[in-house]
Amino acid sequence: MAHHLYGLSCIFLIHIFYPARSGAFGVRDNEISGDTAVGVKYGMRFLSEDLPGTFIESLQLGSNTVDDMKNGYFWNVNEQIKFACKRLGKLEQLKGGYNAIGFSQGGQFLRGLAERCPNPPMRNLISLGGQHQGVFGLPHCSAPNMSWCEIIDKCISKFAYLSWIQQRLVQAEYWHDPFREEMYKTHSIFLADINNENIQNEEYKLNLQKLDNLVLVKFERDTMVQPRESEWFGYYKPGGDKSMLTLQESLLYKEDRIGLKTLDEAHKLHFLSVDGDHLQFTKDWFRVNILKPFLV
């Protein structure tokens, strides 16, 4: 039986521009990044060679790469997920299910797809550097280690939750201000919703529990994602940006709001790490830790 692989190749604040974006890799000096079209094209070939017979569907958010780039910043994520769900539903090859790989912000977007779009069924979700509890910081600007970064973060938060910003700026939809937790919960139109922060949507929980595996990959020296613990569903304790809560310490897990505790107890939730910066990993690492255990 042929494998069916579907992924969103998205980099935080930077999108990959190549028609076959989905499930794609960017390779540079034997490391996988995703910052060039040439690298992504090569990575797609690598995946196809390792999984012969795999059907790979590309998702381009627009009729051309310019629109794709623009939509990656300015098209409401909720509309993107509706678009993806409709697109996948038309593909005969995916009716029996598919595997999904999300790069950076693509990780949480695909999780939203798994929760909201159960048909066709997503089997395995691989999240590479996804920000599942959001971000509070500019790339390469780590607060509180750099005091000026903390000032910038608080300034951004003054505007991030404005309705017209939420509706039009993708990255604002997963901006998570730990100093204004209630503001985040009530005004975030995407991340707070898929994390069941306000209303307990049982369909989201049930749909996510249908996954065979949810694989979370954290990059231990990530300078792009603030905080990097978000890649494992960890985040700052409410009220500050210094102390962290792990997923297991959070109410999201303890109350099993979206089914993560259930997945964990069923050994379907996996935490992997890479000793590198954002999306920097070797092909050999990917083969051993992702392809063989989850995609073959």
Find the catalytic residue in 153, 177, 222, 277: 222
Q: 222 an active-site residue?
A: yes
- Can you give the length of the chain in residues? 296
Q: 264 an active-site residue?
A: no
- CA geometry: angle at 16 spanning 12 and 130, to 5°? 35
Find the catalytic residue in 33, 104, 127, 250: 104
Q: 278 an active-site residue?
A: yes
One-character DSSP codes across the chain: ---EEEEEEEETTEE---TT-TT---EETTEE---SHHHHHHHHHHHHHHSTT-EEE---SSSSHHHHHHHHHHS-HHHHHHHHHHHHHT-GGGTT-EEEEEETHHHHHHHHHHHH--SSPEEEEEEES--TT-B-S-TT--TTTSHHHHHHHHHHHHHHTSHHHHHH-GGGGGB--GGGHHHHHHH-SSHHHHTTSSS--HHHHHHHHT-SEEEEEEETT-SSSSSGGGGGT-EEPTT-SSSEE-GGGSHHHHTTSSSHHHHHHTT-EEEEEESSSTT-EEHHHHIIIIIIIII-
Find the catalytic residue in 4, 187, 270, 278: 278
Q: Going edge to edge, which strands form the sheet with 31-32?
A: 27-28, 31-32, 281-282
List active site positions. Answer: 104, 222, 278
